[in-house]
Amino acid sequence: MAKAPLDGIRILEVEGIGPGPFAAMMLADLGADVIVAHRPRTGPAIGIKERPVIDRGKRSIVLDLKGNEDRDVFLGLMKGADGLIEGFRPGVMERLQLGPADCHAINPRLVYGRMTGWGQDGPLATQAGHDLNYLSVAGALWAVGREGQGPSVPPTVVGDIGGGALYLVSGMLAGFLSAARTGMGTVVDAAISDGAAHMQNLLLSIEGGVEDAASRRTNPLVGAHWSRTYACADGRHISVQCLEPKFYTVFLDRMGLSDDADFRSNQFDAVAWPRLSERLSAMFLEQDASHWDAVFAGTDACVARVLSPKEAQTHPHNQERGTWLETSDGLQAAPAPRFLDREPLKAQKISERNAHGVAIRAALAAGDGWSRH
């Protein structure tokens, strides 16, 4: 079996929160050697676990980038790195004299990844914000909710991970390919608002997709009776999303509605959706979720019970693929995507903060700060 895809790639990460560390974790999952420069702490971090999953597979060193000695250590590591990831507001790394120009003067091949909410320029660039704000301005929150209701609050994976981390990863990978071809690095400006807006191109490709206030009520993925969740008698929920007519037909058959003209003829009639949703709501409330699991098992009706991560771990499909892992560090999702010509990627250990600080400093003093020995 071949080595991990990013074996030999070296990433220096400046500790941040959310999408930046997630992107670095994903690169580590893919085989990159990631050293995270954790910042000195005077107490526990608020809202963040002491050993978060997003630090798995990384080596840790605590560095005070405002101190000359630690700054020299950072520069020494950066000199041998293929990529750097930071998530400060625009200008912060420049004030530390660690911006792209400073780093490229030392390491021209460096792919410098910048993870922000608003990007490196524009009127909002230096303004504070969070996932919900970026999605709002990007036009991505508009579709999250039905007509007559305010947009719901999606989990941060939509902006931080979907629009942020994954776009940073794709930008870093493109940068590595370019550096290998040209010998020159680049600066990746990954803004959550940009990525979240870019993701809307899929919705804009769907007939009735959300473009303005008038089209919001006609977007089938938002308002259709066949694209939503339904509560069951036991308080659990079932998801339904049978978009294609052939799958919708299977759904109606399993629900005993094949001969119901109202359902048969109005799959794409936005006027009928509220009425049909009410009827389905009443039907699903008559039985527990386990009943509906049995009704739709093995079919192409595109129906599935809504599971928690802990429950998802025990689902037969996830068990066979090893999608969820119970590790000594707790429940984790396995690395993704998979490469079928290689050994399965493994979830690496989560190191204590500064666990590798002494060894990294010693290796750097000996001439190679990236040495693992």
Q: Can you give the CATH number for the domain in which 279 is found?
A: 3.30.1540.10
CB 31 within 8 A of CB 103: no
Span 114-155, pLDDT tens digits: 999 999 999 999 999 999 889 989 988 877 776 667 777 787
Q: Omega into 337 within 30° of 0, i.e. cis?
A: yes
| One domain for residues 362 and 303 | no
Of 130, 234, 253, 262, which residue is the catalytic one? 130
Q: What 8-state DSSP symbol labels residue 350?
A: B
Query: Which domain CATH number covers 195?
Result: 3.40.50.10540
**Residue 212: per-residue pLDDT:** 61
**Residue 122: per-residue pLDDT:** 95
| One domain for residues 298 and 350 | no
| One domain for residues 193 and 67 | yes
Of 29, 55, 131, 160, which residue is the catalytic one? 160
Domain of residue 299 covers 224-316
Span 61-93, pLDDT tens digits: 999 999 999 999 999 999 999 999 999 999 999
- Average pLDDT of the segment spanning 189-217: 79
Placement of tokens 């794409």 in the chain: 268
Q: How many residues does the chain have?
A: 373
| One domain for residues 291 and 361 | no
**Residue 262: per-residue pLDDT:** 98
CA distance 86 to 116: 9
Span 34-62, pLDDT tens digits: 999 999 987 666 667 778 999 999 999 99
CA distance 357 to 66: 17
Told to judge if 130 belongs to the known catalytic residues of this protein, a careful annotator would answer yes
Span 105-115, pLDDT tens digits: 999 999 999 99
Told to judge if 70 belongs to the known catalytic residues of this protein, a careful annotator would answer no
| One domain for residues 307 and 247 | yes
Confidence bin at 345 (pLDDT 50/70/90): confident
CA distance 31 to 22: 14
- Average pLDDT of the segment spanning 288-307: 97
| One domain for residues 271 and 145 | no
Please provide the distance, in angstroms rounded to a whole number, between the alpha carbons at the two ends of the chain: 25
What's the whole-model pTM score? Answer: 0.92
**Nearest 5 degrees, angle CA 108-CA 20-CA 103?**
20
- Average pLDDT of the segment spanning 215-236: 86
Q: Say how many C-beta atoms besides its own lie within 10 A of residue 191's C-beta.
A: 25
